[in-house]
């Protein structure tokens, strides 16, 4: 089996932690998550790569949910031949997410499209798939607080892993969208889709790509702490679907469309959902 396990960053136990900041997207439930006592933990320096996930599959014979279902969600811009793609449905009214037959971790844009690059983060992975891998690896998915604590290198308040400087089309600090979403991406950062797991400078703790590249699953259930009726409805739906928190944003994020590559930002999806911009990393007690 190939030695594809990345280094880890270690964090000591802390008595309490709270991410104090002004929420940018309060409807997502941003703000102080909660006060918590964190035990010492170690977190991998980058997301699980395609090569490492291939080791897992080779050893266990595991089939991901996308493989069992037979299709998954693909950003339309990733399709080299969109007219011939085996599209079985759409995901959003805007039309940039397509349900593509055969899309999986090995062929993230479907059969007939290029195989996933070994050194890129594995995608088309559901929360349930990530849980299965974590158990095999002897670790677990991070809690939302652990993920934020590590992305900030233990600091009290920080907008991005590198500080508060805003990345944009000229200041390249992470893998996000550059240009007018969803039709024009200048690829000023060098990538249209995912970048290698160790691309771009890490934070002080050594963690790569906690802003942009791929959304990362966490262990926590998704809930919005708000008394607004819209939040109550979203919470009820999230509870029915079993939604889990995702962090970090992805290569599709842009400040004009999805400003969720900030550390505080969050989203939630059902645990059986997979897509071409979603991966995960592992923590250890």
**How would you write the pLDDT of the chain (285 residues) with one tens digit per residue?**
345 788 999 999 986 565 556 778 888 988 755 677 899 999 999 999 999 999 999 999 999 999 999 999 999 999 988 887 798 887 766 689 999 999 999 999 999 899 999 999 999 999 999 999 999 999 999 999 999 999 999 887 789 999 999 998 888 999 999 999 998 999 999 999 999 999 999 999 999 999 999 999 999 999 988 768 888 888 889 899 999 999 999 999 998 889 999 999 999 999 999 999 999 999 999
Which residue segments constitute the domains of the chain, with CATH numbers given?
8-284 (3.90.1580.10)
Which tokens is 167 given? 């990345």
pLDDT of residue 129: 98
> At 37, phi and psi to the nearest 5?
-95, 120
Residues 6+ apart with CB under 8 A from 207: 9, 43, 45, 46, 150, 151, 153, 161
| Distances from the Cα of 147 to the Cα of 97, 129, 182, angstroms | 27, 19, 28
pLDDT of residue 1: 35
Strand segments, DSSP code E, in the chain are: 8-11, 14-17, 36-38, 41-44, 71-75, 87-90, 97-101, 215-221, 244-247, 267-269, 278-279, 283-284
pLDDT of residue 2: 44
Residue with tokens 């059902």: 270
- Read off the pTM: 0.94
SS3 77: helix
pLDDT of residue 24: 85
> At 72, phi and psi to the nearest 5?
-160, 175
């Amino acid at each position: 089996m190939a030695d594809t396990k990345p280094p880890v960053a270690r964090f000591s136990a802390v008595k309490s932690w709270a991410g104090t900041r002004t929420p940018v997207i309060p409807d997502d439930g941003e703000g102080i998550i909660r006060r918590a006592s964190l035990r010492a933990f170690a977190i991998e320096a980058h997301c699980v790569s395609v090569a490492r996930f291939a080791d897992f599959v080779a050893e266990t014979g595991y089939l991901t949910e996308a493989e069992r279902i037979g299709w998954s969600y693909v950003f339309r811009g990733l399709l080299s031949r969109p007219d011939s793609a085996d599209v079985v449905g759409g995901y959003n009214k805007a039309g940039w997410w397509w349900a593509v037959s055969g899309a999986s971790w090995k062929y993230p844009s479907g059969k007939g499209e290029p195989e996933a690059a070994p050194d890129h983060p594995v995608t088309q992975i559901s929360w349930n798939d990530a849980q299965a891998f974590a158990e095999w690896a002897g670790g677990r998915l991070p809690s939302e607080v652990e993920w934020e604590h590590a992305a900030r290198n233990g600091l009290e308040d920080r907008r991005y892993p590198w500080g508060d400087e805003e990345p944009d089309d000229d200041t390249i600090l992470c893998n996000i969208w550059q240009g007018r979403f969803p039709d024009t991406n200048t690829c000023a950062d060098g990538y249209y889709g995912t970048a290698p797991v160790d691309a771009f400078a890490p934070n002080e703790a050594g963690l790569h790509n906690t802003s942009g590249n791929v959304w990362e699953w966490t262990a926590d259930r998704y809930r919005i702490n708000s008394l607004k009726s819209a939040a109550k409805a979203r919470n009820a739906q999230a509870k029915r679907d079993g939604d889990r928190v995702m962090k970090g944003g992805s290569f599709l994020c842009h400040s004009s469309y999805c400003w969720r590559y900030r550390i505080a930002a969050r989203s939630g999806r059902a645990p059986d959902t997979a897509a071409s911009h979603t991966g995960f990393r592992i923590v250890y007690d």
